[in-house]
Every structure is written in C-alpha cells, then in structure tokens.
Structure 1
Amino acid sequence: MSDQQVTGTNNGGLMDRILDKVERAGNKLPDPAMLFASLLAIVWILSLIFSFFEFTTKIPGTDDPVRVTNLLAGPELAHFLSSMVTTFTSFAPLGVVLVAMLGVGVAERSGYINTAIKMLLNTTPKLLLTPMLILVAIISHTAVDAGYVVVIPLGGVIFYAAGRHPLAGIAAAFAGVSGGFSANFVPSAIDPLLMGFTESAAQIVDPEIQLNPLNNWFFTTASCLVIVAVGWWLTDRVIEPRLANTKIDGDEDDMPVIEEIDRKDRRAFSIASWAMLGGLILLIWSVWPSDSPMRNPDGEMAAFDAPLMQSIVPLIFLFFLLPGVIYGFVAGTFKTSKDVINAMSKTMEGMAYYIVMAFFCALFIEEFGRSGLGVLLAVEGGNFLQALSLPGPVTLAGIVVLVAFLNIFMGSASAKWALLAPIFVPMLMQVGFSPDLTQAAYRVGDSVSNIITPLLPYFPLVVVYCQRYVKGTGIGTLVSLMLPYSVVFMVVWTAFLIGYWLIGDLIGLPLGLQANYVYPAP
C-alpha cells in the first residue's frame, strides 16, 4: 500500500468520526413533514402571544401598523378547518410538480432519457470526456433520479474504459448531478417548484406580485458554463492526480463494461427525437404570428397573462410525454397503453412523500401569512438589515453560506425553501432585493453542499459505485474526494452570482423571464 493510500485511510477515519457526529445531529431533526407540522403549532402559539402587543411598524406601502392575528381564536380556527382542503389543493407547487413529473416519468421509464444520456457519452471524444460528462450530469436533473442511477455509474464506466481512474469519473458526474443541481439550462420541475414557494412568500408583502416559473433561467443557463468549466479543471488538475496512486482493486469479473445501444433502441431514439423536434417546430409556428392565441391581447408572448407563459408546465409535460411514448412503443418497453399509465403511476408513487410534505407545508405557509408574523418579521428584519448597512454582495454571500450549511442537515431543496422563503424573501424585499434575486442566491447555496453530506439519500449509493473499483472506499473517502468541488463551487459560483447581478443590472441582462434585480420593479 502506498503512502498516499495510508494517508487517505487515516484522513478518511478522522472524517468518518466528524461525519458521524454530523449525521447524529442531523438525525435528531424531525422528518420534514413533521417539522412543518411542528412549525404550524409554533406559529399558532406565537400568534396568541404577539396578538397582545401593539406595534408601530408600518405595513409596506401603507400607513397601517402591523397587527398579529390570534390564530387560536374561535373564528380563526373555524376558518382554518373549513378552508383546509382548498388550502392544500390550491397550493401552487403541488399541481406544478405533479403535472410536470407525469411527462418526465414516462420519458424516464420508457428508456428514452437513459438512451439519450448513453448516446451523448458514447460519442464524446476523450479530450472532451470530462466536460461532456459534467454537462450530461447537469442535464440529467430533468429526469430527477436518472443522474444518480445512470450518469454517475456511467461516469466510472467510461473513465475506466478510457484508461482513466474510474473514481474521477464518478466524482465528476456526482459534482454535476448534485453539486451543479441549480445550473441546468433545460427547464425542469424544480424551476416552477421553487418559484411557487418564492411567489407565496413574496405575496406576504405584496399580494399582487407574480413571478415567472423561469425567473432564474438566464442565470442558471450561464451558471452551467461556470460549473462545467470549474468541474473540468478540478477533475483533471486536482482530483485525478490525487487518485494516481489509489489502486483499483475491484473484482475483475465485476468490472462493468459499456453496453452498446442496439439498433432497435437507436431507431426508437431517432424517431422519438424527431417527434420532439417536430413538436418544438409546431410550438414555434403557433407562437410566431403576432395574432397567435398563445400571445396576450397586446401581442406579447412573454407577458404574465400570455397563454404561452401560463402553459410552461403543461409544455414540459408534453415535451417529455411525446418522445417517451413513441420511444417506448418502438423500442418495445411499452406494449400497450396500460404500460404508459403504469409509468405515470409509478412516478406518482415516488411523489407520495412529497404530497404528504406539501400538505403540512401548505398549511404552515397559509397560517404563517394569515398570522401577520411574516410581515412583522420581514419589516423588522428589513429595518435591521438597513441599520447594519451591509453591502449588497455581502448579504447575498451570507444567504449562500447559510443555506449551504443548513443543506448538510436537510437535503430537500423544496423543504428548505418552503421554510426559508417566507423569511428571506419578504425580509430582503424590504431592503430592495427582488424575490428573483433572493431565489437565485438560495439555489446556489442549496447546490454546493449536496455532494459532501451523508444525509443526501443517494450518498451511500455513490459510495457503493466507488467500491466496485476501490473496495476500501467509505463515506470519508467520498467526502474528501468531493470537498474540493464543494468549496470551489461555493466560492466561484457566489462570486459569479454577485458579478452577474452587478453587471446584469447595469447592462439590462435579466436573471430570467420577467425577472428583476430590485424591488419594487422599476
């Protein structure tokens, strides 16, 4: 065994002990669904206490003082019970996510998405192997779990077949799938999901405000280039050289090989992709005329009231459903229409926990807004930030660091944002930050620490992938392997966000569709 291996093992043991403490601390947190239920009870109690106080703080845009409503009063409890069903069913993120996932689930379970990923990776020149792997890993977010179960193990397979260290391939793919989670240039269900929480939080201060589901799209698209470039440099210049003396000691018989895509799958993929392209052309053709029914009465296609903007989620559904169905029947993974329905059903089974969490989350957000505590916290918090007179870049960087730290203990992007949005968004609106910009800072922080937390559900699975090549791989090994990505991503991506904001605001480059940097919007 080499000196490097011995050092790595010792470091891994120390890191294991540190991570054991982190894991124990994280496990003491209640389940996210129960966390929302607990917070709901806390809001009720606080509303009772603060309802006895009179505040001089004014509601933004009015001369009315902030008042806290006692939610435990008889009429308020009656309203809570009578509106519980509609509060849940009208919860904006719920329908958005479920509809989008119906289409994505068909494309994933038919094999269309997996074949697309394999074809992209198999046709990449060795020189561009690392950046293409990271790029495909980023794109795989669209298929939710496809990146974890397909791209990450394929990263090891392809690097091994190319004569490179397979753990470097796994690390690069993991960095793209999880560390670059919010750097995707392909719209996916996470965009409208987070926007729903952001909009609900912003309406605590401004009930009339509306946000676009793609309000961070330009920024996440540009971020993709940053993550690919930084990940490429780290993999080839830092990670792989450190693995040079790490012996590959996996069983020869268990070593994976790249399976060729057979003619039937290629034919199915070609037909399905042409159908998707045809659908895109049809959409462009239908939107292009100035009197298109997809535009608003003023002829604008990107306005909030334009049918095109209101149809983003259904379009995501259709653009994955169509090629998924065609691929399934041509490739033979679907035999009857029942198989398509089963694919949707299986996808919804995987969303069962989200639905439960969304129920308690919807109730918490509704009651938090009705209590007046959100307005009070936002206004007082805004006044506090104004009193500190911190530079804007410092405020954004603070959000990124705080979210990245919380992400180690609570991995769900939606669960964290559901908790933090009602605090961060209204508070920062009071000091002139738009909800769009606050959400962008959250997305950076939510991504960069995914790859170093054992509490990530797929983290143990990545350890298993590594053990196929290096038997002694443990949690500490993987954490030490991914730590450079996490730290550098945080520093570079935060700097990029601040630079994008300052330059974009100066030259008029928005964060996304109908997005602004300041509140109120100019």
Structure 2
Amino acid sequence: MENIQANPDSGNGGVAKGGWINRALNFIEVVGNRLPDPAVLFLVLMVFIWVLSWLLSGVTFETLHPATGEAIQVTNLLSGSEMARFLSGMVTTFTGFAPLGVVLVAMLGVGVAEHSGFINAVLKKLLAVTPQMLLTPMLILVAIVSHTAVDAGYVLVIPLGGVIFYAAGRHPLAGIAAAFAGVSGGFSANFVPSAIDPLLQGFTQTAAQIVDPEVQLNPLNNWFFTSASCLVITLLGWWLTDKVIEPRLKNVAIDGDADDMPAIRELGAREKKALYLSVAVMVAGIVGLVAWMLPETSALRDAQGQLASFTAPAMKSIVPLIFLLFIIPGVVFGYAAGTFHKSKDVIDAMSKTMGSMAYYIVMAFFCALFISEFARSGLGTLLSVEGGNLLAAMNLPGPVTLMGIILLVGFVNLFVGSASAKWALLAPIFVPMLMQIGFSPDLTQAAYRVGDSSTNIITPLMPYFPLVVVYCQRYVKSTGIGTLVSMMLPYSLVFLICWSVFLVAYWSLGIPLGLQASYTYP
C-alpha cells in the first residue's frame, strides 16, 4: 500500500482538522499523547494511588460494603507491611497477570500461522468472497461473537482487523478500531450465550433475594435483549467506522516496519494446494474437538455436565486451543507451500513474534502492578459503593434512575474493569432498590450490562488496552494512549447513548428480555 502522508497542520498522529468533532478528538489525542509513555504512566498512577491511600487511610468512612456489611476502609499502601507485601509479591503479581499468559501463548500459534503465509492465504480467500461494503459489519459481528470464547477476541480478532483492512486497501487503524469496538464495546451484545450470563445472573439473584428469598432467575434472562443488541452495535459500529473514524484517519501516515507489514498477494498453484490441505487439517481438528465435547461424560465438561461454565475444562482450554488451531495448520501450510523447510523455521517464526511483543511485556509489568495495588487499596470499592448510594438517595423516577444506573456503571467502569467485581458491589444496592419501585432484577441487570460494555474501550485501566496500543503501533509508530482513546471515544459515546435509548424502547414495546424474564416486580 502507498504510504499516506500526514497533514502537517494536524495534531500528533496526523489527523486532519475540520469540524468541531474532529477538533475535539484532535485535542484529546494531542493531550493524551503528551502524557508519559504508557508504562511510565502506570508507574506514576501507582505512586499516586500509594499517596492517596496513605492520606485516606486515617479517614473513617461510614460506607458499608454491600457483601460483608462492614465499613469500607482504605488500606495504607505505604505502610511497612504493605510495602513488604508489594516487594515480596512483585514477581507473582506480574506472572499472574491474566492477560499476559493469554496473549503470549496465543501469539505463539498465531505467529507461526502468519509467518508461514497461512493467514495471508486465508485472508486472500476471505477478501475474494466478501463484498467491500460488507467488510466492516462482518468484522464487527465476528468481534462481538468472539468474546464467547473468553478473551480470544483481544488476541485474535483485533489484530486481524488491522490486517484485513490493510489488505483491502483501507486504513489498518480503522480495522483495529472496529474490531476493538465489537470485542470490548459490544461485550454484552451477543446472540451466543457465554459464561458471563450465569456469572452475572448469580450476583443478581443473590441481591434480589435480599428482598424476596424465593426469587429465582434464569441464567439467560437477558438473552433476547443481548441478541437484539448485537444488531444495534453492529450497525452503529459500521456507521461510525466508515463515516467517522476512517475519514478522520485518511491523512495518518502508515509508517510501520515494511518487513512486519502483512502483505496480501495472489496465491500461486502450490500455495493454493497448501491452503486446501491446511484448512482440511484445521477442519478435521475442529470436528475431532466437537466429537470430544458432545458426550455428556466428556472430560471437557464440568461436574454438572456444562460446557460453557467458567469451571469447565473446555472454557479453561480456550487459549491452548487457539494456539493449536493456528500452529498446526500454520506448520502444515509452511511445509506444503515451501515457506518452512526445517523445524528451526517454525521456532524462528515464534521467536520473531515474541520479539514484537517485547514492548507489551514491559507495559504489562507496570500495568499488572498498578491494577493490583489499586484493587488492594479499596479505593475502587469505595468509589463504586458511594456512587451507588448517592444515586439511590436521589430517589429519582424509575426510568431516570435506570438511565442513571447506566451512566454510573459506565463511569465506574473507567476505574474497576472487571464486570463481575463491579456487579458484585453494585447489585446489592441497585437490585433491591429498584425492586421496591416495581422494576424486575432482569431489567436492572440489562441496564448494568449496557453501562458496563460501553466504556470498556476508552479506559487505559482495561488490562488489554495496552495490547491494542501495540497493535496500532505496528502500523503507526507514534500511536499512544491519546490516539487510541480519541479513536474509540466516538464508539463509546454513541454506544452509551443509543444503546440506552434502545433499552428504553425495547422495554416500552414489552419485548421479552430473555428466558423467564420480566420487567416488573412482583
């Protein structure tokens, strides 16, 4: 692709000026990119949390933890015992950082598939059968469905979004943005049930039983709404990508290293045969995996015979399965096409991929320490519960309260990334409160899911956010936190507003939320 030159009058990152929206986004990008390097920023924020915890540790808060009923206390992270704990646990905090292992193991397999030429060949075929105008919605829909397989979308679909757009002659950052919006912004917009459904339902049911011990909720109590939301998010993401994000990126120079840029070219006769053989091997592996899963006594099921629960070996094996799903056909393609000649070529492909992940590993080290310390301080818990109590004390009309919950959850999500951790704190506040004014727990949970998803894509505290920055830097070296936040902010705001309106309209029309779900209580 021809290198596009940046507009010299634009802000850092080369985004052309024009219109108040672009000017606002340019300002956010410039300010954001003037912040320290992400790794340094996490270090600075960690020191700030240490000082803030020291200042607030002597304050007695009357705010009660909704789960324990005890007063929330901020922990002084600068105390001798806490500093000793921090130093002694530094290595395990880093190695136990969940995204680190997920990313590196998956990328080992994806790297072999990429350097062998297998991904190049698959994408060529994919682009041949996908109309240009449908490329964006296809990518977003795949991204939405991908999070059914836990974190697969972050390590697989988002980088491939850049590859696919670049191969199609479009700006790769727009592809990364569209995929990120689908994977993370559309986290609760999925027509395929996943393990998050029973997880959230469990917290909702426990909170509802504070008021009515006999309440029982179906794990798929929001399934119909999340399925319909899939279409809404796909359409919104399609419009934003093609009409807002990509035009804004048209003057951004693609200056990534030429050797690392994925080139999609015509396939020769030998490569076509290699593609058919490697795809056949992949399909055979998938068929074998499905055959292993089907029996009720399968070792991949949990003790209750479920495949989709968090405790099921099948769900715990998602990342190793991604590794195998790519490395096996990648190796087959490499030897069949002649890009691999000996075993060292496979290892070299893995080594080259790990070399490109060096910057992410450094960022992950500081990110892991910061997130751990922030959680340890108790500041996130205090913020969440105080915000919930304030909203409850305002005693607003039901629909206004519902919108308030969505906005509050979206705000809290900027500081507390885990969906289950936030709902564990907020459900005991919101669910009983809204039951008292006639709102069902199912509806309250649906509102929570809208707020929880919409702001995932603009918070640097989301564990995979630094990884997406690295994906962007592969194409535009100057990409920083400000670049990514300014690129994703339109998605976040539009999703938050339009999805909230969609929930209210859905509710007004009386369309069922899910299985055995209701809008009113009792």
TM bracket (short chain): 0.5 to 0.7
The answer on 1:83 being equivalent to 2:82 is no
1:373 correspondence with 2:376: no
Corresponding position of 1:35: 41
1:275 shift after superposition = 1.0
Tell me the SS of whatever aligns to 2:180.
coil
Give the alignment partner of residue 392 of structure 1, picking from 376, 393, 402: 402
Aligned-residue Cα RMSD (Å) equals 5.0
Look up the equivalent residue of 1:391 and give its one-letter code: T
Match of 1:147 among 138, 149, 161: 161
What's the CA shift for 1:62?
2.4
Residue 63 (structure 1) aligned with residue 69 (structure 2): yes
Q: Give the alignment partner of residue 506 of structure 1, picking from 504, 510, 513.
A: 513
**Map 1:232-381 → 2, pairs under 5 A:** 259-381=265-387
Who is 2:211 aligned against? none
Deviations 1:78-109 (A, max 9, x none): 11111111111112222122212222222222
Unaligned 5+ runs, structure 1: 1-8, 157-169, 207-215, 247-256, 404-415, 465-478, 511-516, 518-522
Cα 1:348/1:227, change in 2 over 3 Å: same
Is the partner of 1:507 in helix, strand or coil?
A: coil
Q: Offset at 1:119?
A: 0.8
Shift of residue 345 of structure 1? 1.8
Preserved contact between residue 296 and residue 305 of structure 1 (Cα < 8 Å): yes
AA paired with 1:55?
F
Q: Is the 8 A contact 1:396 1:498 kept in 2?
A: no
- Aligned-pair distance for 1:366? 2.0
Partner of 1:67, secondary structure, is: coil
In 2, Cα distance between equivalents of 1:103 and 1:282: 19
Structure-1 separation of matches of 2:225 and 2:351: 34
Q: Aligned in 2, Cα 1:176/1:76: closer, same or farther, shift over 3 Å?
A: closer
Q: 1:17 Cα shift? A: 6.5
Structure 1 counterpart of 2:212: none
Deviations 1:426-485 (A, max 9, x none): 6644544899986764544455999xxxx9788899899xxxxxxxxxxxxxx99x9998
User: In the alignment, residue 508 of structure 1 is paired with which amino acid?
Assistant: L
Please tell me whether the aligned partners of residues 101 and 317 of structure 1 are also in contact (alpha carbons under 8 angstroms). Answer: yes
Partner of 1:181: 180
1:50 Cα deviation from its structure 2 partner = 1.5
Change (3 A) 1:303 1:233: closer
Residues 15-24 or 278-287, more deviating = 15-24
Q: Structure 1 residues 299, 136: closer, same or farther in 2, change over 3 A?
A: closer
Q: What is the distance in 1 between the residues matched to 2:272 and 2:49?
A: 56
Amino acid at match of 1:28: R
Deviations 1:362-389 (A, max 9, x none): 2222222222223222221221232344
User: What is the alpha-carbon distance in structure 2 between the residues aligned to residue 380 and residue 446 of structure 1?
Assistant: 21
Q: Give the whole-Å Cα distance in 2 for the aligned partners of 1:331 and 1:436.
A: 50
Q: How does 1:331-480 map to 2 (within 5 A)?
A: 331-388=337-394, 389=396, 390-396=400-406, 428-429=426-427, 431-432=429-430, 441=451, 443-445=453-455
Task: Please give the secondary structure, in 1, of the residue aligned with 2:66.
Answer: coil
Per-residue Cα deviation, 1:144-182 (whole angstroms, up to 9, x for no partner): 43432x4224434xxxxxxxxxxxxx37x8655423424
Q: 1:65 is paired with a residue of what secondary structure?
A: coil
Q: TM-score, normalised by structure 2?
A: 0.64
Distance 1:338 1:233 in 2: 45
Gapped regions of structure 2 (runs ≥ 5): 1-8, 144-152, 207-221, 251-262, 432-443, 461-467, 478-485
Give the Cα separation in 1 of the matches to 2:327 and 2:507.
36
Amino acid at match of 1:64: E
Counterpart residue number, 2:215: none
Q: 1:286 to 1:366 in 2, by over 3 A?
A: same
CA distance in 1, matches of 2:160, 2:105: 18
Amino acid at match of 1:135: M
Question: Which SS does the other structure have where 1:30 is aligned?
Answer: coil
Change (3 A) 1:349 1:23: same
**Percent identity of equivalent pairs:** 43
Pick aligned residue for 1:131 from 123, 129, 134: 134
Change (3 A) 1:362 1:133: closer
Does the 8 Å contact 2:66/2:429 carry over to 1? Answer: no
Equivalenced residue count is: 417
User: For structure 1, which segment, 487-496 or 266-275, has the greater mean C-alpha deviation from structure 2 after superposition?
Assistant: 487-496
* Residue identity matched to 1:369: A
Residues 1:280 and 1:100: Cα distance change in structure 2 (over 3 Å): same
Instruction: Give, in angstroms, the shift of residue 24 of structure 1.
Output: 3.1
CA gap of 1:394–1:174, structure 2 versus 1, over 3 A, is farther
Q: State the shift of 1:304 in Å.
A: 2.6
Which piece of structure 1 moves more, 499-508 or 286-295? 499-508
TM-score of the aligned structures, taking structure 1 as reference length: 0.64
Deviations 1:365-417 (A, max 9, x none): 222222222322222122123234443345435766998xxxxxxxxxxxx77
Distance 1:304 1:21, change over 3 A: closer
Work out the CA distance in 2 between the residues paired with 1:217 and 1:116: 32
Q: Give 1:418 deviation, angstroms.
A: 7.2
Report if aligned partners of 1:133, 1:155 keep a CA contact under 8 Å in 2. no
Q: In the aligned structure 2, how far is the partner of 1:420 from the partner of 1:296?
A: 23
Q: Distance in 2 between matches of 1:262 and 1:32?
A: 43
CA contact (8 A) 1:40 1:364 kept: yes
Specify the SS of the correspondent of 2:72.
coil
Distance 1:494 1:315, change over 3 A: farther
